[in-house]
Amino acid sequence: MADFLTIAELPRQEILRLLEATRKNVPVAEGRSPNRTALNGRVIANLFFEDSTRTRCSFETAVHRLGGQVFNLTPSGSSISKGESLVDTARNIECMGVAAIVVRCAVSGGAKMVADGVKCPVINAGDGRHEHPTQAILDVSTLMEEFGSVEGRTIAIVGDITNSRVARSATHALATLGAHVRLVGPPTLVSKAFERISQGSGTVTTMSNLDRALEGVDAVMMLRVQFERAAGGAISSDYRQMFGLTPDRVARLAPHVIILHPGPMNRGIEIDDGVADDPQRSRILRQVTHGVAARMAVLEDLVGV
Ligand code: ASP
């Protein structure tokens, strides 16, 4: 791989290879196995033009765990606030000899623009509504830790599907690996176009009745309404009642069903407290650990020695 920009264009074998590397990295990510040396002497630039907690910190941690060094650039305190463009910023950073650039931005396709403008490898850490490919690896990795494989499993992804790069990347990865994906939410926030993602033995179905969509699932991934992408206007005051994962709904799930959320959660909107913190079913914090492992796998693959 020269860059890591999208899951949609990644063949099944490549996804499986990254998942296997992620699995092996989990003990390192947990601090139970010694750090590695694959990034010794390398400097990675984190260019975060949009806010982030988990993704930015886990990329940083992943670089440290691989023996490299990392610095962060965010709009406040940099020349981005003076109007310098994404690509100009990235070109200048590249000239500082970095081994790779990790980029997050509000523009769909922004990571590709950066990759076209520089020679070093670029990793997409979330570009607008488009993709969040390392999130997909960590989501599937968390599911595989639970179920061994996602093939034939049914996963409901619930909420603001249209504006979610997490949903788009996860759907591509899951369908490619043979899972059945149900995309659930208000019709204003679920695009039928997602059904075209179906491939191989995987299927993608859009639905607007959450209770029906939860019947027979193996996992439920809840999503935040992307208020920063103007999705607020597309939801009504009964959103929690219609699409929230409440204790009542969880009580009807089979005992093996697990719950995911990429974070940040809006508690009391898409997910209730007791569900988010459910010690039996919630894998939300486990996803964070897999996030470090997945980002290590991608960094090792692109720039490891
Ligand atoms: N953290 C995820 C993202 O950056 C999900 C979210 O923000 O709702 O897309």
> For residues 179 and 193, is the Cβ–Cβ distance under 8 A?
no
Domain membership flag for residue 247: yes
Of all protein residues, the one whose alpha carbon is nearest to atom 1 of ligand 1 is 263
Q: How many CB atoms lie within 10 A of CB 162?
A: 22
Cα-based distances in Å from 68 to 23, 31, 71, 135, 141: 21, 16, 10, 21, 24
| CA 225 / ligand 1 centre spacing (Å) | 9
Domain membership flag for residue 261: yes
Whether residue 276 is found in the same domain as residue 139: yes
Provide mean pLDDT across the span 118-133.
98
Cα-based distances in Å from 146 to 17, 152, 252: 18, 14, 20
Looking from the CA of residue 165, the nearest atom of ligand 1 is 9
Strands of the sheet with 203-207, listed across from one edge:
203-207, 180-184, 154-158, 219-222, 258-260
Whether residue 147 is found in the same domain as residue 277: yes
Domain membership flag for residue 1: no
Whether residue 260 is found in the same domain as residue 293: no
Whether residue 151 is found in the same domain as residue 272: yes
pLDDT tens readout for residues 34-51: 999 999 999 999 999 999
Domain membership flag for residue 3: no
Whether residue 280 is found in the same domain as residue 210: yes
Whether residue 299 is found in the same domain as residue 231: no
Looking from the CA of residue 166, the nearest atom of ligand 1 is 9
Whether residue 123 is found in the same domain as residue 168: no
Ligand 1 neighbours (beta carbon < 6 A): 126, 132, 165-166, 224, 262-263
Whether the predicted pLDDT of 287 surpasses 90: yes
Provide mean pLDDT across the span 263-275.
97
Domain membership flag for residue 117: yes
Domain membership flag for residue 2: no
Domain membership flag for residue 259: yes
φ, ψ for residue 159, nearest 5 deg: 130, -135
Into how many domains does the chain fold?
2
- Residue 70: CATH number of its domain: 3.40.50.1370
Whether residue 47 is found in the same domain as residue 145: no
pLDDT tens readout for residues 213-227: 999 999 999 999 998
Domain ranges, residue 248: 133-285
pLDDT of residue 199: 75
Whether residue 112 is found in the same domain as residue 234: no
Cα–Cα distance for residue pair 189/249, rounded to 1 Å: 21
Of all protein residues, the one whose alpha carbon is nearest to atom 8 of ligand 1 is 224
Beta-bridge mates of residue 220: 156, 259
Residue from 158, 162, 166, 169 whose mutation best tests the ligand 1 pocket (most atoms within 8 A of CB): 166
Instruction: Tell me the pTM.
Output: 0.97
- Write down the mean pLDDT value for the chain: 96
| CA 142 / ligand 1 centre spacing (Å) | 17
Whether residue 273 is found in the same domain as residue 161: yes
Whether residue 173 is found in the same domain as residue 228: yes
Q: How many CB atoms lie within 10 A of CB 126?
A: 26
Whether residue 141 is found in the same domain as residue 260: yes
| CA 157 / ligand 1 centre spacing (Å) | 14
Confidence of residue 143 (pLDDT cuts 50, 70, 90): very high
Domain membership flag for residue 5: no
